[in-house]
C-alpha cells in the first residue's frame, strides 16, 4: 500500500529518522539477535530510515531494501548510495517478491505488515525467500482484540492469533514474541 497523508509525512520527517536510529533499530536488533554477516531483505523501507540504521549498525550485511511505492524508493536510493554495492534499493511488492526461493538469511519488516493489503500473502512470500534456518523479524502494531472491528489507526492491523495461524500456514515452525514491543523473530525451518 502506498503511504499517503499523515503517514507519508511522518516517514519523510527528521523525527522518524531519529526515532528509527535511536529507538526502533536498537530495540529490533536486541530482540532479534542478528548475525554480524547476512544477506538481508527489508520489506517496506520507505525512504530508507531503518535501512540506513541497519547498514550502519551491521557493516557485514548485504542489504536489499524494498518498498512498493516508487515515490519512497527514489529518496531511499539517494540516502543509501554511500554504502555502494552492499546496499541495494528496489521497488518490490511484499505480496509477490521478485526473489528466488531461499535467497536471504533474514527478512526484516518494521511497522509495515499492517500496511500490506494481503499480509498473509506477504508472510508466505517472506518464508519462501528465506534460506533454511533463516529468520523473519517483524516489529509491528497489532490489534489488541482481533474479534473487534478495526477502525482508525488500527484499521490495517491483525490479532496475534491470526498472525500465529498465518505463520504456521506459511511454514514457520518456531516464533518468539515480545508482547511489550510487539516484535516477532520467526525461524524459517
- DSSP for 94-111? TTB--S-TT-EEEEEEES
**Nearest residue to 44 (alpha-carbon basis) of 129, 106, 99, 111:** 111
Residues 7, 186: Cα–Cα separation, whole Å: 27
**Nearest residue to 25 (alpha-carbon basis) of 61, 52, 50, 56:** 50
List strands edge to edge, sheet with 104-110.
87-91, 60-67, 37-43, 104-110, 130-139, 183-187, 174-178
Residue 100, phi-psi category: left (phi > 0), alpha (psi -120 to 50), beta (remainder): beta
Question: Which range, of 41-45, 96-100, 112-116, 131-135, averages the lowest pLDDT?
Answer: 112-116
Give percent of the chain with pLDDT exceeding 90: 46
Q: Tell whether the torsion through CA atoms of 31, 37, 40 and 44 is positive or negative.
A: positive
What are 132-187's pLDDT values in tens digits? 989 899 887 655 554 443 443 444 556 777 788 888 899 988 777 665 444 444 44
| Global confidence as pTM | 0.83
Instruction: List, in order, residues 6 or more apart from 153 with CB less than 8 Å away.
Output: 141
Give percent of the chain with pLDDT exceeding 70: 76
- Give residue 112's pLDDT band: very low, low, confident or very high (50, 70, 90): confident
> Hey, is 21 helix, strand or coil?
helix
Does CATH place domain 5-187 in 3.40.50.150?
Answer: yes
Cell, residue 20: 528509527
What are 47-57's pLDDT values in tens digits? 899 999 999 99
Amino acid at each position: 500500500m502506498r503511504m499517503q497523508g499523515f503517514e507519508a509525512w511522518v516517514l519523510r520527517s527528521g523525527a522518524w529518522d531519529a526515532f528509527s536510529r535511536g529507538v526502533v533499530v536498537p530495540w529490533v536488533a536486541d530482540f532479534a539477535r542478528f548475525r554480524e554477516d547476512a544477506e538481508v531483505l527489508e520489506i517496506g523501507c520507505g525512504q530508507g530510515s531503518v535501512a540506513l540504521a541497519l547498514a550502519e549498525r551491521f557493516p557485514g550485511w548485504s542489504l536489499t531494501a524494498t518498498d512498493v511505492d516508487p515515490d519512497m524508493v527514489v529518496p531511499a536510493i539517494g540516502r543509501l548510495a554511500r554504502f555502494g554495492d552492499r546496499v541495494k534499493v528496489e521497488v518490490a511488492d511484499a505480496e509477490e517478491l521478485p526473489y528466488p526461493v531461499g535467497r536471504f538469511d533474514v527478512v526484516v519488516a518494521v511497522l509495515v505488515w499492517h500496511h500490506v493489503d494481503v499480509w498473509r500473502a506477504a508472510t508466505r512470500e517472506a518464508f519462501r525467500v528465506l534460506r533454511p534456518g533463516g529468520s523473519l523479524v517483524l516489529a509491528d502494531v497489532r490489534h489488541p482484540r482481533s474479534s473487534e472491528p478495526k477502525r482508525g489507526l488500527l484499521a490495517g492491523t491483525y490479532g496475534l492469533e491470526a498472525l500465529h495461524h498465518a505463520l504456521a500456514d506459511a511454514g514457520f515452525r518456531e516464533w518468539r514474541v515480545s508482547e511489550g514491543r510487539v516484535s516477532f523473530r520467526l525461524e524459517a525451518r
